[in-house]
Amino acid sequence: MPASECPRLAMLVDNNDGLRKELAHWLGEGALALVLGAGISYNQNLPLWPELVRRCCKTAKVPVRLTNGAPTDKILDKLELVHNRADTEMQYQDWIREALYREVAKYDMRIVNDQWLLALGALLMTSARGSVSQVLTYNFDDLLEAYLEMHGFCIQTVTDLPALLGTSDVTIYHPHGFLPLLSTHHASRHIVFDRASYELRLAESSDPWNERVRDMLVSKVTIFLGLSGNDPCLRTALAWVNAQLPDSRLLGVWLIGDREKDDEEVELLTSRGIAPLYFAEHELIPEFLLQICQEAVRLV
């Protein structure tokens, strides 16, 4: 659905005020969700995806030269070589975990002052103005869990499906796997990282994770942040969900920092029912998230 075919969506594209009010409304209705990528963890010395790939390839002695905009298929092929060179699945996951936490020995009180985590925590905090109770993260790390637990949140981390869901303030889903730093958290059985694992996930449309992701996206208005948009599983889910929704329904908002508005990117996102919002600086995004909470209070 191009924005030109949906006047309401066209009005929201890169419209800071309009999107803030729209998202505040859905926050108050309890219909807002979050989908997160590695960009939210970067300030805590956790690597972005390209750097994580480089580290894993170096460990497995797989030659790799990644440039900005390197094709996703090529990267996934390199990661499959990494997987093949591990003697066991456990060793493969250990390589990824070591690469992930190479510069992080432990989480300490510094994470309390992280502006990204502070803003996410505000959205997730139970409040009369509404809150977010479901998070889908494509990160392997447990940074968000550690931050929320430090603040006394009752959380449930879902790393494998099917899962028994209990009462919690926030449910955090890790569809691609979970490799925690903290010993109090438990790793997932499977990791989606290389070409073979992506192909296995995509080959089975009734895979529990595919169904869980689609269900959340179709039943919530979603804020996407810290993501490149290149993940094959997420792209497939967005295409499926957009086909199920009426043209007037906003699927979500994609927050993009440190880039000027890109007309082709806008066209691609709006064709999926998503309104992009651009920020001159990456650091302005947490402020916008806090403004959503403040706007929601005025609607109570």
Q: Quick: pLDDT tens for 77-94.
A: 999 999 999 999 999 999
Map tokens 């460990």 to a residue: 59
Low-confidence stretches of the chain (pLDDT beneath 70): 1-8, 67-70
CA distances from residue 261 to 193, 217, 255, 268, 296 in whole angstroms, order as listed:
30, 25, 11, 13, 27
CB of 250 within 8 A of CB of 221? yes
Mark residue 77 as left, alpha or beta (left: phi above 0; alpha: psi -120 to 50; beta: remaining): alpha
pLDDT of residue 69: 60
Backbone angles phi, psi at 203, to 5 degrees: -70, -25
pLDDT of residue 46: 95
In the chain, list all ranges with CATH 3.40.50.1220: 3-45+107-299
pLDDT of residue 205: 81
Which residue type does 181 have?
L
pLDDT of residue 7: 63
Residue 224 β-bridge partners: 35, 254
pLDDT of residue 249: 83
How much of the chain is in helix, strand and coil states, percent to nearest 5?
50, 10, 40
pLDDT of residue 227: 92
DSSP state of 245: S
Residue 254 β-bridge partners: 224, 276
CA distances from residue 35 to 128, 139, 255 in whole angstroms, order as listed:
23, 10, 11
DSSP state of 111: G
Please check whether the domain covering 3-45+107-299 is classified as CATH 3.20.20.70: no
